[in-house]
A and B are shown apart, each in its own frame.
Chain A
Amino acid sequence: MTIIVCAVSVMGICGIITGLLVGLAGKVFFTEEDEKVTLIRKELPGNNCGGCGYAGCDEFARAVAEGKAEFVMCVVPINKEKAYTVSKILGYAIEEKDRRIMHVRCIGTCSKAPDKYIYTGVPDCISALIIPEGGKKACSYGCLGLGTCVKVCRYGAISVKDGVAHIDKGRCTGCGKCKEACPRNLIESIPYDAGYKVGCNNNDKGKNVKNVCSAGCIGCGLCKKSCKAGAIELVHNIPHIDYSKCVKCGKCKESCVTGCISGFVDNT
């Protein structure tokens, strides 16, 4: 009987002492954390994607609170409500920011763009590019489909389908990690509500493009002529859409003979 009483009392006393000490330590070593940091941290997505250039959302929140960084550097879009809340925390006005997403400028799937040889090396685009001839794809501009961008995406938005990287519009936050990772610079940042997108990055002349890919852009310039808003510019045989001018009429898609301009409406 005494042993039970002894055990219970020792256990109880030890517990109370530890509890008191922890409580006391909490009071004595209380660190005043900037209230702003906690509030700003709440407004951030918390995925630690690194799109802002800081190590994670915590670091970014601290930098914003100290005035070293601006809140708009976060890749996540800011709507009216959020702009208001953050402005209140920081004490100065924050502008709204539209959502942007990433887009792969290649639609050369296995059947459309043939391979030069069978590649059995490391499944990584950068490794594949080191090999002479630079990758297995006959097109020297196209997506290698080995998924270097898939690995860097922290939101699981990229998948390789039929030999070409594909970005899930819903999951993409536009942080731009994949853009940095792609050794062929195929990925570009476009507005979330962009109407039409170009699916080719081959700078060669028409005939050479046709030899390596049936879906490639031949640089004919019909899209530029058909665009009434003047939003399309041809640079190195590839059309570039200026989304600030684009009125989403769809004329460029209709005029494209190879089908490398597609709309988000029918092809997401």
Chain B
Amino acid sequence: MKLIAVFMTAAFANNVILSRFLGLCPFLGVSKKMSTAAGMGVAVFFVITISTAITYPVEKLLTYFNIGFLRTIIFIMIIAGLVQIIELFIKKKSEGLYRSLGVYLPLITTNCAVLGTAINAAEADCGFIKSLVYAAGVSAGFLIAILIMAGLREKIEYNEDIPEAFKGMPVTLVTAGLMAIAFFGFAQI
């Protein structure tokens, strides 16, 4: 029960994009089409979950040696290496998945949502399983947000009523703000 609550909170109430404002770059960058947004979301799901699983024991190691200040740099290094390995693995095992994830895998090596989740999970220090569920929740939140955004943007693109000055990025940012307000409603549950 508690795990479900952790998952839901991470996915909705504390949505990584819309209430923590992490990972905004891919959120705005690759949300033009539904298919690319789905690719990005799934790639982020992979990387966040696996990297949290790896960085959790590393964090334990860092606290043991009393060098917590190295956390950021070591996490970045591990995540970057991990993404490389995952990419090679997917390329070998599943050509179709590799082609559909395509460029998005390397793109998220230094995504702040990935690092942010790993650091949050490490700081909270609430057990391995709970951290994993938290990471899965965060990435599910990312997937949901980017998919909604892509769906909205596909519609906005052809809307003729938008004033010239608002077309493109400005109206996208306004939409993102409105979505953030909507997601704020989850915080009250």
| Inter-chain contact B78/A10, CB cutoff 8 Å | no
A89 within 8 A of B: no
CB-CB under 8 A from B66, the residues of chain A are: 3, 6
Which size bracket describes the interface of A in this complex?
A: 10 to 19
Known: A6-B65, A25-B88, A29-B88. A11 touches B73 (CB 8 A): yes
Cross-chain pair count, CB within 8 angstroms: 49
- Specify the main secondary structure of chain A where it touches its partner: helix
B61 within 8 A of A: yes
Known: A14-B74, A21-B81, A122-B160. A31 touches B67 (CB 8 A): no
| Inter-chain contact A10/B88, CB cutoff 8 Å | no
| Inter-chain contact B77/A14, CB cutoff 8 Å | yes
Q: Which partner residue on chain B sits nearest A17 by CB separation?
A: B81
Known: A6-B65, A14-B77, A31-B91. A21 touches B85 (CB 8 A): yes
Docked Cα-Cα span, A21 to B83, in Å, equals 12
CB-CB under 8 A from A30, the residues of chain B are: 92
- Specify the main secondary structure of chain B where it touches its partner: helix
B97 within 8 A of A: no
Q: Which partner residue on chain A sits nearest B58 by CB separation?
A: A14
Q: Which of B62, B81, B89, B93 contacts A10 (CB 8 A)?
A: B62
**Residues on A facing B (Cβ under 8 Å):** 3, 6-7, 10-11, 14-15, 18-19, 21-22, 25-26, 29-31, 121-122
> Which residue of A30, A31, A122 has the most chain B CB atoms within 10 A of its CB atom?
A31
| Inter-chain contact A7/B70, CB cutoff 8 Å | yes
B84 within 8 A of A: yes
Tell me the residues in window 36-81 of chain B with beta carbons closer than 8 Å to chain A beta carbons: 58, 61-62, 65-67, 69-70, 73-74, 77-78, 80-81
| Inter-chain contact B89/A22, CB cutoff 8 Å | no
Tell me the residues in window 71-127 of chain B with beta carbons closer than 8 Å to chain A beta carbons: 73-74, 77-78, 80-81, 84-85, 88-89, 91-93
Output the least CB separation between B27 and chain A (Å): 25
> Can you list 7 pairs linking A and B with CB atoms under 8 Å apart?
A7-B67, A10-B62, A10-B67, A14-B78, A21-B81, A25-B89, A122-B160
Docked Cα-Cα span, A31 to B61, in Å, equals 34
CB-CB under 8 A from A10, the residues of chain B are: 61-62, 65, 67, 70, 74
Q: Which partner residue on chain B sits nearest A20 by CB separation?
A: B81
CB-CB under 8 A from B78, the residues of chain A are: 14, 18
CB-CB under 8 A from A21, the residues of chain B are: 81, 85
| Inter-chain contact A15/B77, CB cutoff 8 Å | yes
| Inter-chain contact B92/A19, CB cutoff 8 Å | no
Docked Cα-Cα span, A233 to B74, in Å, equals 74
Docked Cα-Cα span, A30 to B92, in Å, equals 7
CB-CB under 8 A from B84, the residues of chain A are: 22, 25
Docked Cα-Cα span, A196 to B58, in Å, equals 72
| Inter-chain contact B74/A11, CB cutoff 8 Å | yes
| Inter-chain contact B91/A29, CB cutoff 8 Å | yes
CB-CB under 8 A from B92, the residues of chain A are: 29-31
CB-CB under 8 A from A122, the residues of chain B are: 160
